[in-house]
Amino acid sequence: MSIHYNQTGYDPRLPKKAVLTGKGAHCMILNERMLGTYRPQTGADENICNVILSPAVYDEASGDTVRTVDFSAFSEPGKYYLIADGESVIIEIKEKPYHALSNALVKSFYYQRCGCELPEKYAGPYHHGICHAGKATLVKNDGELDMDTVVDCVGGWHDAGDYGRYIAPAAVAVSHLLYSYELFYPVYQDQLNIPESGNGIPDILNECRYELEWMLRMQRADGGLYHKVATRYFAKFIMPEQDTDDLWLFRVTHCSTAGFAAAAAQASRVYRAYDAAFASKLLEAAIKAWDWMEANPAFEPFVNPPNLSSGAYGDSSCEDELFWASAELYSVTGEARYLDALKKRADAVDVSKFGWRDTAGMGALCCFFVMRNKLDGDFIASLQKRFVQAADSSLTLTQKSGYHTALGADGYRWGSILPILNNAIVMICACLLTGEMKYRNAAQNQLDYLLGMNATGYSFVTGFGKRAFRFPHHRPSYADGVDDPVPGLVSGGPNKGHPDGAAKMTIPPDTAPAKFYLDFTPSASSNENAIYWNSPAVFVTAYFDSL
C-alpha cells in the first residue's frame, strides 16, 4: 500500500491531496470520462504524470519518504483512478462528502448510551439490553466502601471501549458537540433514528441531553460533582448488560465540578430555545457547582484508590476548567464575578486546548463566538492573538509533516487523534476569526488524516473508508456477534508512548511513532474509541459539512 488518501471522499470545491510512499514519481489520475478517451502512449511513457507531485521529503514521524500529489484542480464530481507506482485506488470527488460521516459520528454516542435498552429499531444489529441500572456505592480514598452513601446515577454514555462513566471527559465531549451545534447548526437535523428523533429538536441536542441528565444525577446536594462511576475492575469483553458487577462511585473532585459548571452553563444557553425549564435547571446546577468551587478552594488532585482499575482522569490543575466555566457562566448571567474570574485566569491558561485535561479552548470559543460584544476590545484582541499564534504553530507542524499532519513525531502518545483534531479545531476557528484560508486548508488535512491520509493507511472511523479499521478495543463491538464494528467510532490511533501488551508483543520496537498502531481488539493503547475523540471529530466534520 503506497497511496494514502481520504477514503471518504473529497469536496469538489476544496483542496485535494494524497500522499505517496512509492519510490518513483509515476502517477496519473483519470476519471471514467477521461478513461474513455485515453490512448495508451507508444514508446517510453515513464514520465506520464498529469498531476503535480511534490519533491520527495522525509517524514520524521513515520520514517517514510513521501511525495504529495495535489489534485485540487479536479473538481468534477465522480470516481477517479489514482495510479501511482504500480498501484491503483479509487478516489471519490463528491458533493457533501462528509454529511453521512457527520451523522454517523453523532449517532455513535447513541450506541454508547448506558442505563437503557438499545432496541433494534434504533440500534439495528447492535441492539442490546439495559445495562448498569443499579445504584452506586461511594468508595473512600483508602479503597473501602462507604455503605451509607448509595446514589442513583443511572444513564449517560459509556466513556470508551470500557463501561466506566467519568465526568471530566463527559463535560468536554458534550461541549464539543454543543459548540458544533452552536457554530454549524444548519448541518444538524432531527433524523438520526434515535428514540427522540422527530421531536422537533436537533438530534445532536437530544443525544447530549441524555448525557447531561446523567451528569445532573452525579451532582451532590452541595453542588460538587462525583468524579466517576464504574465497576471495580474494567469488565471482560462482554456485552454491557452482562457486566453486572457492583457500581462504585468516586469522590467529588474539583476538576469534575468545574468542568460540569462549564458544560452545564453552556448547555443552559443552547437548550433555552427548546426547553426553558431544562435550561433553568442546568443553569442552577452550574451555579451551584461554581459556588462549590469557591467554597472549597483547596485543590486535591484525584488519584485512583488502591486495588481497582477504572480510568483515573486525574488532572493537576483546574484553572483551565475554571476559566472555561467563568466564560460560559458570564455569557449566560452577565454577572461581574464571572467576568472577574475570566480575566483573572486568561493569561495563565492555554486557550488552544480542547482535551479532557486541558479545556480552556472551549472558554476561548465562548469569548470569540458567543459573547464577543460583551467583552472589551483589548481583552478579545489579546486572546485572539494568542489563539491565532497557536493556529500558526499547528500550521507549521502541518507544513513540516510529510503527511500534512499537525502533530510532531513526539506527539504519538495515547489518543494521538486528540491533539490532531484539537489542532484542526484551532485552525478552523482561526480561519473563522481571520478569514485566512491557509488555516482551513491545513485543517482539511487533519480530516484527511482521520480518513486515511496517514502513515498506517487506515481510516480511523469504523464503517467509513475502504480500509476502515475494524477491530476497535470496544467491548460491544467484540461481544455482539456482529461482524462489523459499531459504526462511527474514532480510534485513538498510533501510540508509541505507552504500548499495551498486544502492541508490545507484535509491533517491532523500532517502528516509527506514526505507525505504532494495531487494528486488533486487545490494543487498548492504540485502538480504543472514546467519546472525547469522537466529539472533536464531530466538530471538524460538521465544519466541513457546513461549507
Judged by CB under 5 A, the chain residues 97 through 126 that form the site for Zn ion are 114
Q: Which of 11, 473, 474, 500 is catalytic?
A: 473
Helical segments of 94-253, H only = 99-111, 120-123, 167-184, 203-217
Output the smallest distance, CB 514 to ligand 9MR, in A: 18
Q: State the binding partner of 132 from Zn ion, ligand 9MR, none, CB within 5 to 8 A by kind.
A: Zn ion
Output the smallest distance, CB 220 to Zn ion, in A: 22
Query: Which CB, 126 or 163, lies closer to ligand 9MR?
Result: 163
Q: State the binding partner of 9 from ligand 9MR, Zn ion, none, CB within 5 to 8 A by kind.
A: none
391: contact with ligand 9MR by CB under 6 A: no
HEC string of 42-86 equals: CCCCCCCECCEECCCEEECCCCEEEEEEECCCCCCCEEEEEEECC
Query: Which CB, 6 or 310, lies closer to ligand 9MR?
Result: 310
160: contact with ligand 9MR by CB under 6 A: yes
User: Exposure string (b/e) for 32-62, b if CB count within 10 Å is 16 or more?
Assistant: eebeeeeeeeeeeeeeebebebeebeebbbb
Measured distance CA(433)–CA(352) in Å, rounded: 14
Nearest to 78 by CA among 38, 16, 35, 32: 32
Stretch touching ligand 9MR by CB under 6 A, among 156-164, 235-243, 300-308, 504-512? 156-164
Output the smallest distance, CB 174 to Zn ion, in A: 18
- Which residues have CB under 8 Å from 308's CB, separation 6+? 139, 143, 232, 233, 248
Residue from the set 530, 531, 540, 542 that interacts with ligand 9MR by CB under 6 A: 530
Output the smallest distance, CB 168 to ligand 9MR, in A: 10
Identify whether 291 is a catalytic site residue.
no
Query: Which CB, 369 or 471, lies closer to ligand 9MR?
Result: 471
Cα 231 to Cα 21, 240, 253, 528: the distances in Å are 45, 11, 19, 19
| Beta strands 247-249 and 136-139, pairing class | parallel
Measured distance CA(46)–CA(24) in Å, rounded: 10
Identify whether 473 is a catalytic site residue.
yes
Residue from the set 11, 59, 64, 162 that interacts with ligand 9MR by CB under 6 A: 162
Output the smallest distance, CB 111 to ligand 9MR, in A: 15
538: contact with ligand 9MR by CB under 6 A: no
159: contact with ligand 9MR by CB under 6 A: yes
From the number of C-beta atoms within 10 Å of its C-beta (0-12, 13-18, 19+), residue 510 rates as exposed
485: contact with ligand 9MR by CB under 6 A: no
Query: Which CB, 114 or 370, lies closer to Zn ion?
Result: 114
Q: State the binding partner of 159 from Zn ion, ligand 9MR, none, CB within 5 to 8 A by kind.
A: ligand 9MR
Q: State the binding partner of 131 from Zn ion, ligand 9MR, none, CB within 5 to 8 A by kind.
A: Zn ion
131: contact with Zn ion by CB under 5 A: yes
- Which residues have CB under 8 Å from 140's CB, separation 6+? 146, 251, 305
Give yes or no for a contact between 464 and 101, defined as CB atoms under 8 angstroms apart: yes
- Which residues have CB under 8 Å from 123's CB, separation 6+? 110, 111
Q: Which cell is 211 given?
A: 448525557
Size of the site for Zn ion (CB under 5 A): 4
Identify whether 159 is a catalytic site residue.
no
Judged by CB under 6 A, the chain residues 411 through 430 that form the site for ligand 9MR are 414-415
Identify whether 162 is a catalytic site residue.
yes
Query: Which CB, 156 or 311, lies closer to ligand 9MR?
Result: 311
Residue from the set 196, 211, 358, 528 that interacts with ligand 9MR by CB under 6 A: 528
Q: State the binding partner of 240 from ligand 9MR, Zn ion, none, CB within 5 to 8 A by kind.
A: Zn ion
Measured distance CA(171)–CA(179) in Å, rounded: 12
Measured distance CA(519)–CA(477) in Å, rounded: 13
Measured distance CA(244)–CA(134) in Å, rounded: 9
Q: Which of 64, 480, 528, 545 is catalytic?
A: 528
240: contact with Zn ion by CB under 5 A: yes
Give yes or no for a contact between 176 and 359, defined as CB atoms under 8 angstroms apart: no
Nearest residue to Zn ion, scored by beta-carbon proximity: 114
Output the smallest distance, CB 304 to ligand 9MR, in A: 10
User: Exposure string (b/e) for 109-147, b if CB count within 10 Å is 16 or more?
Assistant: bbbbbbbbbbeeebbeebebeebbbeebbbbeeeeeeee
Output the smallest distance, CB 270 to ligand 9MR, in A: 25
HEC string of 397-430 equals: HHHHCCCCCCCCHHHCCCCCHHHHHHHHHHHHHH
502: contact with ligand 9MR by CB under 6 A: no
Judged by CB under 6 A, the chain residues 163 through 202 that form the site for ligand 9MR are 164
Q: Which of 64, 162, 315, 320 is catalytic?
A: 162
Judged by CB under 6 A, the chain residues 299 through 338 that form the site for ligand 9MR are 311
Output the smallest distance, CB 160 to ligand 9MR, in A: 3
SS3 call for 370? helix
User: Exposure string (b/e) for 287-298, b if CB count within 10 Å is 16 or more?
Assistant: bbbbebbeeeee
Q: Which residues are catalytic?
A: 162, 473, 519, 528
Residues of this chain that bind Zn ion (CB under 5 A) = 114, 131-132, 240
Residues of this chain that bind ligand 9MR (CB under 6 A) = 159-160, 162, 164, 311, 414-415, 492, 528, 530
